[in-house]
Structure 1
Amino acid sequence: MKSIYLFIVFVLLLTFNSFGQQRYPEKEVTMDHDTMFLKKDMHKISGIVYNEHGELGVFKDGLREGIHKEWFRSGNLKDEISYSNGLKDGEFRYWDDKGQLLKEGHYIKNNLDGLIKEWYHNGNIKLEVNYKNGAMHGLRTEWYKSGHKWSEQIMENGYVVSGKHFYNDGTEITHGNFIKH
């Protein structure tokens, strides 16, 4: 019973909050750098910007806020990116026009952070790489389109420290350690 009550309260709060936001069709707005303005008077937008496929996202004082979505003309979701004060901050995902997930990861204040994954259009894993403060840091692994491992590298602050490469059958081609400059 308590969960039903909490759900009803959440829905009511969400509903009341959305009534207060102005909605702007995409054709009435323009973007200058990372700030959204009304075309008619160049006033910074606070509200929801949408297009014929649905909501694109919320803006506060012209800056992106919350989850923003973009669609292909077919209506399929193209990307979903979290923002805070106009900066990419939080989870992101990109899909192809057929709905296959191509890339996902996390931003902190416009910098990639944590594990980033990429897939081929056939659904096989393409890349897994760790980021720290916007630079590759830690294990970076790539695969052939067939699904076999192509390379493994250890990264530090964006530089390769050591690595291995493999033939498509899994046999190691090369390995080595690298000098940091």
Structure 2
Amino acid sequence: MKKLLLFLLLIPFLSVSQTVNQVDASGKKQGVWVKKYESGEKRYEGIFKDDIPHGIFKYYYNSGELQASKEFFHKGKAASTHFYYLNGKLKASGLYVNQKKDSTWNYYNEDEILILSEQYKAGNLYGTTKTFYEEGELYEVKSWEEGVEHGKWQQYYKTGQLIMSTTYENGVLNSSYTYYHSSGEIDIKGMYKNNVRVGEWIYFSEEGKQDTIINYNESK
């Protein structure tokens, strides 16, 4: 009687273990899937329906801590994703569409301070990238289009004062370039053409007085 009772209690667990990592007659993944590292530790777990990931998938470090989570939607084509440090704090978050980065991705240091924000379109940088100092102050703003620098590029001191300002055109510097002292006075002013310095480049003292002029001949 005791053996029968024990067997009946084990039936739910046996049925669960038998339905893990299953494929149907067409070879499509169905139900709960669990993959493990060679060490035996769980690598990821999630649910498939007709070979399509469904709902929340969890991914783990070899040491057992949660490494990432993905919540799939739009028939598995999109996934809201979060990555974590070993200590459990958020490392990065963003969206995958068709397994490529899309929309806004944010990255954090272990103090949970935002250090990088990027915008993507179909896996390519598209829009504005913002980089921050470790304490959270804005350091750099750069514009992108189809994975290529295009538009304003500016850098800042921790105080918020501008360090440098120039403009990209399809990945090439074809623009004026201005570099500033921390006081806000202009330090260097010149022009780029095809990533090369051209014309007069003027250097100023910290008091804003013209100091040196260097003339760069444009190559023919």
TM-score normalised by length of structure 2: 0.60
1:74 aligned partner: 111
**Higher RCO structure (Cα 8 Å, ≥6 apart):** 1
Q: Pairwise mapping of residues 10-159 of structure 1 onto structure 2 (< 5 A)? A: 22-25=55-58, 27=60, 46-51=78-83, 52-53=89-90, 56-159=93-196
Unaligned runs of 5+ in 1: 1-19, 29-37, 39-43
1:172 aligned partner: 210
Whole-Å separation in 2 of the counterparts to 1:152 and 1:56: 39
Q: Is the 8 A contact 1:21 1:48 kept in 2?
A: no
Whole-Å separation in 2 of the counterparts to 1:72 and 1:26: 20
2:47 aligned partner: none
Q: Is the 8 A contact 1:49 1:59 kept in 2?
A: yes
Whole-Å separation in 2 of the counterparts to 1:25 and 1:148: 52
Whole-Å separation in 1 of the counterparts to 2:54 and 2:175: 43
Q: Is the 8 A contact 1:139 1:153 kept in 2?
A: yes
Equivalent residue letter for 2:80: I
Whole-Å separation in 1 of the counterparts to 2:186 and 2:59: 43
Whole-Å separation in 2 of the counterparts to 1:156 and 1:46: 41
Q: Is the 8 A contact 2:149 2:168 kept in 1?
A: yes
Structure 1 residue 65 displacement after superposition = 0.9
What is the alpha-carbon root mean square deviation over aligned residues? Answer: 2.6
Q: What count of residue pairs does the alignment treat as equivalent?
A: 148
Equivalent residue letter for 1:167: S
Structure 1 residue 115 displacement after superposition = 1.2
With over 3 angstroms needed to count, the CA separation of the structure-2 counterparts of 1:60 and 1:165, relative to structure 1, is same
Equivalent residue letter for 2:134: D
Larger radius of gyration: 2
Structure 1 residue 70 displacement after superposition = 0.5
Unaligned runs of 5+ in 2: 1-52, 62-69, 71-75, 84-88
Whole-Å separation in 2 of the counterparts to 1:93 and 1:62: 23
With over 3 angstroms needed to count, the CA separation of the structure-2 counterparts of 1:169 and 1:119, relative to structure 1, is same
Structure 1 residue 97 displacement after superposition = 2.4
Q: Is the 8 A contact 1:23 1:49 kept in 2?
A: no
State, as a whole percentage, how many aligned pairs show the same letter.
Answer: 15
1:127-146 deviation per Cα after TM superposition (whole angstroms, max 9, x unaligned): 10111011111111001223
With over 3 angstroms needed to count, the CA separation of the structure-2 counterparts of 1:25 and 1:158, relative to structure 1, is farther
Q: Give 3-state SS (helix, strand or coil) of 1:97's partner.
A: coil
Detail structure 1 runs of 4+ shifted over 3 Å in the superposition. 20-28
Q: Give 3-state SS (helix, strand or coil) of 1:74's partner.
A: coil
Structure 1 residue 61 displacement after superposition = 2.6
